[in-house]
Protein backbone atom coordinates (compact mmCIF):
# COMPACT_ATOMS: atom_id res chain seq x y z
CA UNK A 1 0.00 0.00 0.00
CA UNK A 2 1.36 3.36 -1.04
CA UNK A 3 -0.53 6.31 0.45
CA UNK A 4 -0.96 9.72 -1.10
CA UNK A 5 -3.16 12.59 0.09
CA UNK A 6 -6.18 11.39 -1.89
CA UNK A 7 -6.10 7.85 -0.47
CA UNK A 8 -5.45 8.97 3.09
CA UNK A 9 -8.32 11.45 2.84
CA UNK A 10 -10.59 8.56 1.79
CA UNK A 11 -9.47 6.62 4.86
CA UNK A 12 -9.97 9.48 7.32
CA UNK A 13 -13.32 10.52 5.81
CA UNK A 14 -15.00 7.19 6.50
CA UNK A 15 -17.72 7.37 9.19
CA UNK A 16 -16.67 3.98 10.59
CA UNK A 17 -14.04 5.16 13.11
CA UNK A 18 -14.35 4.26 16.81
CA UNK A 19 -16.09 7.08 18.69
CA UNK A 20 -15.13 8.59 22.03
CA UNK A 21 -17.00 6.79 24.82
CA UNK A 22 -19.32 8.81 27.03
CA UNK A 23 -17.47 8.06 30.28
CA UNK A 24 -16.80 10.61 33.00
CA UNK A 25 -13.32 11.05 34.39
CA UNK A 26 -11.31 9.75 31.44
CA UNK A 27 -8.10 11.47 30.41
CA UNK A 28 -7.69 12.53 26.80
CA UNK A 29 -4.60 11.94 24.71
CA UNK A 30 -3.74 12.27 21.03
CA UNK A 31 -1.26 10.48 18.79
CA UNK A 32 -0.52 10.52 15.06
CA UNK A 33 -0.06 7.74 12.55
CA UNK A 34 2.36 9.60 10.29
CA UNK A 35 3.26 8.27 6.84
CA UNK A 36 6.37 9.40 5.00
CA UNK A 37 5.10 11.94 2.48
CA UNK A 38 7.79 11.31 -0.14
CA UNK A 39 7.43 7.53 -0.29
CA UNK A 40 3.99 6.86 1.19
CA UNK A 41 5.04 3.35 2.23
CA UNK A 42 6.00 3.48 5.92
CA UNK A 43 4.77 4.80 9.25
CA UNK A 44 6.80 6.75 11.80
CA UNK A 45 6.87 4.91 15.11
CA UNK A 46 8.68 5.58 18.36
CA UNK A 47 9.98 3.29 21.07
CA UNK A 48 8.98 4.84 24.38
CA UNK A 49 11.80 5.27 26.91
CA UNK A 50 11.64 3.51 30.26
CA UNK A 51 10.39 5.82 33.01
CA UNK A 52 8.91 5.26 36.48
CA UNK A 53 6.15 7.74 35.57
CA UNK A 54 5.25 5.95 32.33
CA UNK A 55 3.91 2.37 32.48
CA UNK A 56 4.48 1.62 28.79
CA UNK A 57 8.25 1.98 28.51
CA UNK A 58 9.87 -0.02 25.69
CA UNK A 59 6.57 -0.07 23.78
CA UNK A 60 6.24 0.88 20.11
CA UNK A 61 3.80 3.77 19.81
CA UNK A 62 2.86 6.70 17.64
CA UNK A 63 4.15 10.15 18.63
CA UNK A 64 1.79 12.11 20.84
CA UNK A 65 0.69 12.48 24.44
CA UNK A 66 -1.82 13.77 26.96
CA UNK A 67 -4.07 16.69 25.99
CA UNK A 68 -3.13 19.49 28.40
CA UNK A 69 -5.44 22.22 29.71
CA UNK A 70 -3.49 24.70 27.59
CA UNK A 71 -4.22 22.77 24.37
CA UNK A 72 -7.01 24.17 22.22
CA UNK A 73 -7.93 20.71 20.93
CA UNK A 74 -6.67 17.14 20.48
CA UNK A 75 -5.22 18.20 17.13
CA UNK A 76 -3.34 21.07 18.77
CA UNK A 77 -2.02 18.64 21.41
CA UNK A 78 -0.74 16.10 18.90
CA UNK A 79 1.05 18.73 16.81
CA UNK A 80 2.63 20.18 19.97
CA UNK A 81 3.73 16.72 21.12
CA UNK A 82 5.20 15.81 17.72
CA UNK A 83 7.28 18.96 17.79
CA UNK A 84 8.35 18.45 21.43
CA UNK A 85 9.13 14.72 21.05
CA UNK A 86 10.68 14.68 17.58
CA UNK A 87 11.37 18.27 16.56
CA UNK A 88 9.16 17.89 13.48
CA UNK A 89 7.37 20.96 12.12
CA UNK A 90 6.42 19.84 8.59
CA UNK A 91 3.48 17.65 9.55
CA UNK A 92 0.22 17.55 7.60
CA UNK A 93 -2.74 15.98 9.42
CA UNK A 94 -5.45 14.63 7.14
CA UNK A 95 -7.97 13.66 9.81
CA UNK A 96 -8.83 11.40 12.73
CA UNK A 97 -9.12 7.61 12.58
CA UNK A 98 -10.98 7.36 15.86
CA UNK A 99 -10.72 7.04 19.63
CA UNK A 100 -9.16 4.12 21.52
CA UNK A 101 -9.41 3.40 25.25
CA UNK A 102 -6.44 2.13 27.25
CA UNK A 103 -6.64 -0.08 30.33
CA UNK A 104 -5.56 2.99 32.35
CA UNK A 105 -8.71 4.99 31.52
CA UNK A 106 -7.08 7.17 28.86
CA UNK A 107 -8.93 7.79 25.60
CA UNK A 108 -6.48 8.31 22.74
CA UNK A 109 -7.59 10.02 19.56
CA UNK A 110 -5.41 8.81 16.69
CA UNK A 111 -4.88 11.20 13.80
CA UNK A 112 -3.46 10.23 10.41
CA UNK A 113 -1.26 12.33 8.19
CA UNK A 114 2.11 12.83 6.59
CA UNK A 115 5.56 13.95 7.68
CA UNK A 116 8.46 15.09 5.53
CA UNK A 117 11.21 12.42 5.66
CA UNK A 118 13.83 15.01 4.70
CA UNK A 119 13.23 16.95 7.92
CA UNK A 120 15.70 16.05 10.68
CA UNK A 121 14.18 14.05 13.53
CA UNK A 122 15.57 14.89 16.96
CA UNK A 123 14.02 12.51 19.53
CA UNK A 124 13.54 13.76 23.08
CA UNK A 125 15.76 11.26 24.90
CA UNK A 126 13.84 11.45 28.18
CA UNK A 127 10.72 10.13 26.41
CA UNK A 128 11.93 8.25 23.31
CA UNK A 129 14.52 5.47 23.09
CA UNK A 130 14.56 5.48 19.30
CA UNK A 131 12.60 6.09 16.14
CA UNK A 132 11.13 2.99 14.49
CA UNK A 133 10.39 2.77 10.75
CA UNK A 134 7.26 0.64 10.25
CA UNK A 135 6.87 -0.58 6.63
CA UNK A 136 3.19 -0.69 5.72
CA UNK A 137 3.82 -3.80 3.59
CA UNK A 138 4.98 -5.69 6.72
CA UNK A 139 1.81 -4.70 8.56
CA UNK A 140 -0.35 -5.78 5.61
CA UNK A 141 1.43 -9.15 5.36
CA UNK A 142 0.96 -9.83 9.08
CA UNK A 143 -2.68 -8.70 8.91
CA UNK A 144 -3.38 -11.14 6.06
CA UNK A 145 -1.19 -14.03 7.28
CA UNK A 146 -2.76 -14.00 10.75
CA UNK A 147 -6.30 -13.66 9.38
CA UNK A 148 -6.91 -10.42 11.29
CA UNK A 149 -9.16 -9.06 8.55
CA UNK A 150 -12.90 -8.94 9.14
CA UNK A 151 -12.67 -9.57 12.89
CA UNK A 152 -11.46 -8.01 16.14
CA UNK A 153 -8.59 -10.17 17.47
CA UNK A 154 -8.03 -10.21 21.24
CA UNK A 155 -5.27 -8.23 22.95
CA UNK A 156 -2.92 -11.21 23.27
CA UNK A 157 -3.38 -12.17 19.59
CA UNK A 158 -3.27 -8.73 17.96
CA UNK A 159 0.49 -8.35 17.53
CA UNK A 160 2.40 -6.79 14.64
CA UNK A 161 6.16 -7.56 14.56
CA UNK A 162 8.51 -4.81 13.36
CA UNK A 163 12.31 -5.09 13.39
CA UNK A 164 13.10 -6.88 16.67
CA UNK A 165 10.02 -5.41 18.38
CA UNK A 166 6.29 -6.11 18.62
CA UNK A 167 3.49 -3.58 18.25
CA UNK A 168 0.62 -4.34 20.62
CA UNK A 169 -2.10 -2.66 22.67
CA UNK A 170 -3.79 0.54 21.50
CA UNK A 171 -1.21 1.10 18.76
CA UNK A 172 -1.96 -2.36 17.32
CA UNK A 173 -5.71 -1.71 17.54
CA UNK A 174 -5.32 1.58 15.67
CA UNK A 175 -3.20 -0.13 13.00
CA UNK A 176 -5.77 -2.93 12.70
CA UNK A 177 -8.55 -0.38 12.16
CA UNK A 178 -6.41 1.65 9.75
CA UNK A 179 -5.71 -1.45 7.61
CA UNK A 180 -9.32 -2.61 7.68
CA UNK A 181 -10.62 0.70 6.34
CA UNK A 182 -7.73 0.92 3.84
CA UNK A 183 -8.28 -2.51 2.27
CA UNK A 184 -11.38 -1.48 0.26
CA UNK A 185 -9.33 1.33 -1.32
CA UNK A 186 -6.34 -0.82 -2.22
CA UNK A 187 -7.69 -4.34 -2.81
CA UNK A 188 -8.38 -5.67 -6.28
CA UNK A 189 -10.47 -8.37 -4.64
CA UNK A 190 -11.62 -8.11 -1.01
CA UNK A 191 -12.09 -11.89 -0.73
CA UNK A 192 -8.51 -12.67 -1.68
CA UNK A 193 -7.19 -9.38 -0.22
CA UNK A 194 -4.89 -9.01 -3.22
CA UNK A 195 -3.39 -5.52 -3.09
CA UNK A 196 -2.98 -3.32 -6.17
User: Per-residue pLDDT tens for 144-195?
Assistant: 999 999 999 999 999 999 999 999 999 999 999 999 999 888 876 555 555 5
Phi/psi of residue 68, nearest 5 degrees: -85, 165
Tell me, what CATH number does 37's domain have? 3.90.79.10
The whole-angstrom separation of Cα 16 and Cα 11 is: 10
User: Per-residue pLDDT tens for 81-110?
Assistant: 999 999 999 999 999 999 999 988 899 999
Q: Is the pLDDT of residue 55 over 90?
A: no
User: Per-residue pLDDT tens for 57-86?
Assistant: 679 999 999 999 999 999 999 999 999 999
Q: Is the pLDDT of residue 33 over 60?
A: yes
Cβ count near 164 (within 10 Å): 5
Distance of CA 44 to the CA centre of its chain: 8
| Contacts with 70 (C-beta within 8 Å, 6 or more apart), sequence order | none
The whole-angstrom separation of Cα 56 and Cα 189 is: 38
Predicted structure pTM score: 0.93
SS3 12: helix
Residue 33: enclosing H or E segment and its boundaries?
strand 27-36
Q: Is the pLDDT of residue 196 over 70?
A: no
Cβ count near 71 (within 10 Å): 18
| Contacts with 44 (C-beta within 8 Å, 6 or more apart), sequence order | 34, 35, 36, 62, 63, 86, 115, 131, 132, 133, 134
CA atoms within 13 A on the CB side of 164: 2
Residue 103: the pLDDT is: 85
149 contacts 180 by C-beta, under 8 angstroms: yes
The whole-angstrom separation of Cα 178 and Cα 98 is: 10
Q: How many domains does the chain have?
A: 1
Phi/psi of residue 154, nearest 5 degrees: -70, 165
Residue 73 is part of which domain span? 5-195
Amino acid sequence: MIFDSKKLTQVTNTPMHPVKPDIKGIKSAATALLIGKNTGDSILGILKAESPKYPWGNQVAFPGGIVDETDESSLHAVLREIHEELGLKNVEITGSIGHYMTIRNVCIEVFAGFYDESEKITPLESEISRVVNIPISNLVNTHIDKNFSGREPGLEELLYPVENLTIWGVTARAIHHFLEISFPIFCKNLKTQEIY
